[in-house]
Copies of this chain bind each other. A is one copy, B any other.
Amino acid sequence: MADLSRLSLNTATVKEQWSLAECIEGCARHGIPGIAPWRDKLHDYGLELAVKHIRDTGLKLSGLCRGGMFPAADEAGRQAALADNRLAVDEAKALDAACLVLVVGGLPEGSKDIAGARQQVRDGIAATLEYARTVGMPLAIEPLHPMYAADRACVNTMAQANDLCDELGEGLGVAVDVYHVWWDPDLEAQIARAGKNVLAFHTCDWLVPTTDLLLDRGMMGDGVIDIPQIRGWVEQTGFEGACEVEIFSADNWWRKDADEVLGTVKDRHLKFV
């Protein structure tokens, strides 16, 4: 019997409605035990206040969103990204997050060299990992759907993420988001291959039709993803972390009352995850 004990709310799901403080209160009020904040809302609130508030409510962080965005057109840009990633590692540690999620970044401005961008991503992760190990914060590469290869993340399959984990080693893992990977014919095998490296599991749904590349994700059950099947594969690795709901939905869920959204999240988590 499914229950809510594994549920976590990624704050992007009510991005337009609530501040981080309101998200924390909302999760506590709705009996959702996990939360995954985005750093922009974290910075709006202030790290120390957020740490205290989260500790007081007993919420667990299934992840901090996000580090990454490593490629840049010049060395100054790459160094700035590394500095920001070290800061993100520190914030994740202060919040006792299960992991820092990495959205690795796409092509630098004006570039068509995706192999080069992937090399920059590899180097950026390696440098960040070196620091993250010193503070004991796991990094989770989130492979993003191939439609984001140019502008958001050039790691687009579980296989690529697993290859990076194999190469770079201890402290590095993968965030499996059903939206990004559901189409992959190699998904079951690559989740099994990831094994203990699965650090996060994100849910939402793929709508048919999808009207926007970024902001038209569906609520679980409204689309075509067989979420329980993927959850099964993830849990066969031994993963005992949260099912983190993350829905970007400019024209639908972001326009609804946030308490109603959280009610629906709970209902759909029980029925479709």
CB distance from A253 to the nearest CB of B (A): 19
Given known contacts A118-B185, A146-B147, A157-B185, what 13 new A-B pairs fall within 8 Å (CB)?
A107-B208, A114-B182, A114-B226, A146-B146, A146-B183, A146-B184, A149-B183, A150-B223, A151-B208, A151-B209, A159-B185, A210-B213, A211-B213
Q: With an 8 A cutoff between CB atoms, is A224 at the interface?
A: yes
A206, B113: Cβ atoms closer than 8 Å: no
Please, which residues of chain B bring their CB within 8 A of the CB of A154? 183
Please, which residues of chain B bring their CB within 8 A of the CB of A208? 107, 150-151
Residues 138-172 of A, flagged 1 when their CB comes within 8 A of B and 0 if not, give 00000001110111001011011000000000000
* A-B CB contact pairs (8 Å), 22 listed: A107-B208, A107-B224, A111-B224, A112-B224, A112-B225, A113-B226, A114-B182, A114-B183, A118-B185, A145-B147, A146-B146, A146-B184, A147-B210, A149-B183, A150-B183, A150-B223, A150-B224, A151-B208, A156-B183, A159-B186, A160-B185, A211-B213
CB distance from A191 to the nearest CB of B (A): 14
Q: A212 CA to B225 CA in the complex, in Å? A: 21
Q: A11-43: which residues lie under 8 A (CB-CB) from chain B?
A: none
Closest 3 CB pairs of A and B: A149-B183, A112-B226, A146-B183
- Is the contact region of chain A dominated by helix, strand, or loop, or is it mixed? loop
CB distance from A212 to the nearest CB of B (A): 8
Residues 205-227 of A, flagged 1 when their CB comes within 8 A of B and 0 if not, give 01011110100000000011110
Q: A142 CA to B201 CA in the complex, in Å? A: 31
Q: A111 CA to B224 CA in the complex, in Å? A: 7
Please, which residues of chain B bring their CB within 8 A of the CB of A113? 226
Q: A111 CA to B211 CA in the complex, in Å? A: 20
Please, which residues of chain B bring their CB within 8 A of the CB of A183? 114, 146, 149-150, 154, 156
Please, which residues of chain B bring their CB within 8 A of the CB of A145? 146-147
Of A146, A154, A184, most B-chain CB atoms within 10 Å: A146
Q: Which residue of B lies closest to A156 (CB)?
A: B183
